[in-house]
Amino acid sequence: MAADRLSPEEVARYREQGYIVPRYRVPAARLAAMRALLERLIAENPGRRPEHLVLRWGGGVAARPTDAAFLDHARDPEILDLVEQLIGPDIVLWGSHVFCKPAGHGLEVPWHQDGQYWPIRPLASVTVWLALDASRRENGCLRVIPGSHRTQSIYHHRLDERPALAINQVVDDARFDEGRAVDVELEAGQLSIHDVYMLHGSRPNRSDQRRAGFASRYMPATSLYDRSIAFPGGSAGIKQNMALRPIYLVRGQDRAGNDFSLGQDRPFQVGDDG
């Protein structure tokens, strides 16, 4: 069990607020490896916005693809210990996404709830968002509406396809009050965790400092990753096909009949639209 596991007060705060910044920090060597890999991912994908670096592992968890640093982090027992405290002992890693906002022209992530376009039933998931760079108000840190997850409902969203937005699903609901927003500022190597019902977003990056974060998505294995209801036409404006994505049981047992074999025979790639 990680030395920095969440205290009962932190778990209670997560339940109350829908997000938390744990004390845990990623070891410097891993952070350096992930940052080096990020440079490579960006260089190898010149046609893709760096806010859209969805990672599709494939090859099986045991295959350890060359690009192992991100996967190692997502499966790190210390990270899973934190996740377990929030969603229980049976854990599925079902998605990973690097949101890199370049200095000067990083895209806005409009206010949204993730659960609006995620094919998980019953809907339950947490995102571990690791700061690969310092993430501050000036360079477009994550922003949340504390407590907004407590309705356990999906607010009304509308489609907004402006290219200035990193995703095209935008909350449009009378219950939404941006005046209650809180900036989640992090040093590189720190992480935040947020609930699937949490309203969140981030401003554009007009500063001279890049802002990159690596988001890993986990669901309890009591939920089904339901490929038949994956959001049609690419998910949230990002080229990704959630129906075909390989998912991984990273701890405990599957309790919902999840399909862990689909997609495992395909190699790691950035973007899973194919």
Ligand X SMILES: O=C(O)CCC(=O)C(=O)O
Note the residues at the interface with ligand X (CB under 6 A).
99, 109, 114, 127, 129, 142, 200, 202, 213, 215
Contact present, 126 and 86 (Cβ < 8 Å): yes
Task: Provide the 10 A C-beta neighbour count for residue 37.
Answer: 18
Residue 90 or 114: the one with the smaller Cβ distance to ligand X is 114
Amino acid occupying residue 62 = A
Least CB distance from residue 8 to ligand X, whole Å? 26
d(CA 213, CA 202): 12
Contact present, 271 and 45 (Cβ < 8 Å): yes
Residue 211 or 251: the one with the smaller Cβ distance to ligand X is 211
Least CB distance from residue 200 to ligand X, whole Å? 6
Least CB distance from residue 142 to ligand X, whole Å? 5
Residue written as token pair 């109350």: 16
SS3 assignment for 230-253? CCCCCECCECECHHHCCCEEEECC
Contact present, 55 and 97 (Cβ < 8 Å): yes
Least CB distance from residue 1 to ligand X, whole Å? 26
Residue 127 or 190: the one with the smaller Cβ distance to ligand X is 127
d(CA 265, CA 95): 17
Residue 201 or 220: the one with the smaller Cβ distance to ligand X is 201
192 exposure class (CB count in 10 Å sphere: 0-12, 13-18, 19+): buried
Residue 96 or 241: the one with the smaller Cβ distance to ligand X is 96
Least CB distance from residue 118 to ligand X, whole Å? 10
